[in-house]
Structure 1
Amino acid sequence: MTENDQLRHGRTCVTDLQVHLVFVTKYRRNVFDDTILTSMETIMRNVCHDLDARLIEFNGEDDHVHLLVEYPPKLPVSTLVNSLKGVSSRLLRKQYKLKTHHNHLWSPSYYAASSGGTTLETLKTYIRNQRRPD
């Protein structure tokens, strides 16, 4: 898949899957600054690439980060999250002296929401208006 493709073409499917992810630090500790967030974006972009996914957008504050990731249908979101959090935690704790709780950078929970090119209401209307056979 190239950077400009809107759709991912597989042998038996065509997909357009994105997920909005939010990770918070353990106990919402304020540990990030611009330098750390810049390094984290590079790390997460590389993890996505290794999983055949693509980091579309990334940003964060001192205690959490937001990611928008395009991913293949064969990749479970939970696997994506575990890889992103695990690799980033290990590499950032190694590179920077982060204030963590027992070597845990991230809270075990996360937020994930599917995203797409249209609203749910538009999709529901489109489905309702399909020509149903008599």
Structure 2
Amino acid sequence: MSKYKKLSHVIYKCDYHFVWVPKYRLRILKGVIKTLVERDIRSLCELKSCEVQELNVQEDHVHLLVSVPPKVSISKLMGILKGKIAIKLFKTYPKLKEKPYLGNHFWVRGYFVSTVGLYEEMI
């Protein structure tokens, strides 16, 4: 029963694997930007009562394995993660907005998400 989590009226195991990339798949997620993205993903997930199980920030994409309570919408979670992180990055590093870089968008519009079942060891 330790794999499962509890809220007042539900027992759940809702694990999701997310992948998303910066605009133009720029190799920009390194150094202090990588550290900022990792820290912010963890803190924003904690605010939404989500548990980060695995986080891997590569130079040109992010992998996140997270346990999400049933009351949290997946699309809203991604909107919060991508939106808040982009705003913070642009405030901290205004040069990112200059062309030929990113304009007003840090991340691509879409993302990949998959539910993780009993075979999460394979991921």
Residue 116 of structure 1: how far off its partner (Å): 2.6
The answer (yes or no) to whether the contact 1:31–1:98 under 8 Å persists in 2 is: no
Residue 34 of structure 1: how far off its partner (Å): 3.1
1:48 maps to 45
Find the aligned partners of 2:96 and 2:5 in 1 and give their Cα distance: 38
| Matched ranges for 1:25-40 at <5 A | 25-40=22-37
Number of aligned positions between the proteins: 115
Task: Indicate whether 1:89 and 2:89 are aligned.
Answer: no
1:13 maps to 10
The answer (yes or no) to whether the contact 1:85–1:106 under 8 Å persists in 2 is: yes
- The percent of aligned pairs where both chains have the same amino acid is 34
1:98 maps to 96
The answer (yes or no) to whether the contact 1:37–1:59 under 8 Å persists in 2 is: no
Moved over 4 A (4+): none
The answer (yes or no) to whether the contact 1:52–1:72 under 8 Å persists in 2 is: yes
* More displaced stretch, 5-14 vs 53-62: 5-14
1:109 maps to 110
Per-residue displacement from partner, 1:76-110 (whole Å, max 9, x unpaired)? 11011001000111112222343642221000000
Q: TM-score, normalised by structure 2?
A: 0.84
Give the 3-state SS of the residue equivalent to 2:71 in structure 1: coil
Find the aligned partners of 1:115 and 1:49 in 2 and give their Cα distance: 20
- Structure 2 residue runs without a partner (length 5+): none
Give the 3-state SS of the residue equivalent to 2:96 in structure 1: coil
1:131 maps to none
| Matched ranges for 1:110-129 at <5 A | 110-118=111-119
- Structure 1 residue runs without a partner (length 5+): 120-134
The answer (yes or no) to whether the contact 1:23–1:106 under 8 Å persists in 2 is: yes
Give the superposed CA RMSD: 1.7
Specify the structure having the higher radius of gyration (Cα). 1
